Copies of this chain bind each other. A is one copy, B any other.
Amino acid sequence: MADTNRQWRLAKRPEGTPGEDVFEFVEADVPDPGPGEALVRTIYLSVDPYMRGRMDGTSGYADAWGVDDPLEGGVVGEVVESNGAGFEAGDIVTGNMEWADYSTAPGTALQSVNPDLAPVSTALGVLGMPGRTAYFGTREVANVQAGDTFVVTGAAGAVGSVAGQIAELTGARAVGFAGSDEKVAFVEDELGFDRCINYETTDDYRAALDEAAPDGVDAYFDNVGGPITDAVFTRLNLDARVAVCGQISMYNATELPTGPRKLRHLISTRATVEGFLVSDFAPRFSEATEQLAEWVQSGDVQYRETVTEGLESAPDAFLGLFEGENIGKQLVRVGDE
């Protein structure tokens, strides 16, 4: 067993776009698992846009990270030692742990990962939190139906890529927004969306929608917010559903973001706009994971991962999310499988 450990801590709270200086890389002891805990060696670490909120003192829904505390996030790792945690050394598990080589966690907060089902990294992506977010957001919140036109922002990302494929599997037409020609090709050619719009090279989102979604928008899954969302609101159909999952375009804002007032578009359409967190669906997580695993195994759902190498790259991987550098799920490979 290794006797050295490295750990990322929050050096200070950022204002606006975080710089490297909000992260501090420290050496630390390998922790001892307390009673009921396991010691876990990190294999993959997940970085996710929602973590930007955890950097602030006033996080909306996930607990704020404490200054000088180790950062936390989704991890897939190998159990090194179990102190009555209900696992054995060598088991592959997932759970919320530290941005570190080694973490401890209560056995009750860890889930087994079956390496025969799919690559273990998928427990942080298509078969994990992002996949479940797409599953419940698309089916339950946006309530997508066969024949619908379904629009999703961040279409090449970990959540949007799965959301659009679920919509297509439901019999809807999926139209995505993504930020590069490479992403557009991935979304249309590999994921099978009906259309994908490159928002970086398109000035007029309304005109782009009129062309890509000529029958209007029945269901909208919003990961991004901002001007794309403004345009979609003007194209909502009767009884349209908007699922608000994220607003990444605003997470680093230092001034109050403004835009067109949009509530009037909801009156004649009788549209519904609803925010959600995947944790609201916790009692049904196994349903989602099983269905997603079936789709992945059958090839109905494709996925991609962008992996940076080494724990030292974690801040760059995180900050890259806001630059749109990832295609599919952004992971950090911390240790060998």
Residues on A close to B: CB < 8 A? Answer: 60-61, 222, 225-226, 229, 244-247, 250, 256-261, 263-277, 280
Q: A244 to nearest B CB, angstroms?
A: 5
* Chain B residue contacts of A270, Cβ below 8 A: 274-277, 280
Determine the distance from Cα of A194 to Cα of B244 in the docked complex, in whole angstroms. 32
Q: How many copies of the chain does the oligomer comprise?
A: 2
The residue in chain B whose Cβ has the minimal distance to the Cβ of A61 is B268
The residue in chain B whose Cβ has the minimal distance to the Cβ of A59 is B268
Contact of A264 among B247, B268, B269, B277 (CB under 8 A): B247
Interface centre among A225, A245, A268, A269 (most CB of B within 10 A): A268
Interface centre among A256, A263, A272 (most CB of B within 10 A): A263
Cβ-defined contact, A247 with B225, below 8 A: no
Determine the distance from Cα of A280 to Cα of B250 in the docked complex, in whole angstroms. 35
Cβ-defined contact, B274 with A272, below 8 A: yes
Closest 9 CB pairs between A and B?
A266-B275, A60-B268, A61-B268, A267-B275, A273-B273, A257-B261, A272-B274, A247-B264, A244-B266
Determine the distance from Cα of A244 to Cα of B268 in the docked complex, in whole angstroms. 10
- Between A and B, 14 residue pairs with Cβ closer than 8 Å are A60-B267, A225-B261, A225-B263, A225-B264, A244-B264, A247-B264, A256-B261, A258-B258, A259-B259, A266-B273, A267-B275, A268-B275, A270-B275, A271-B274
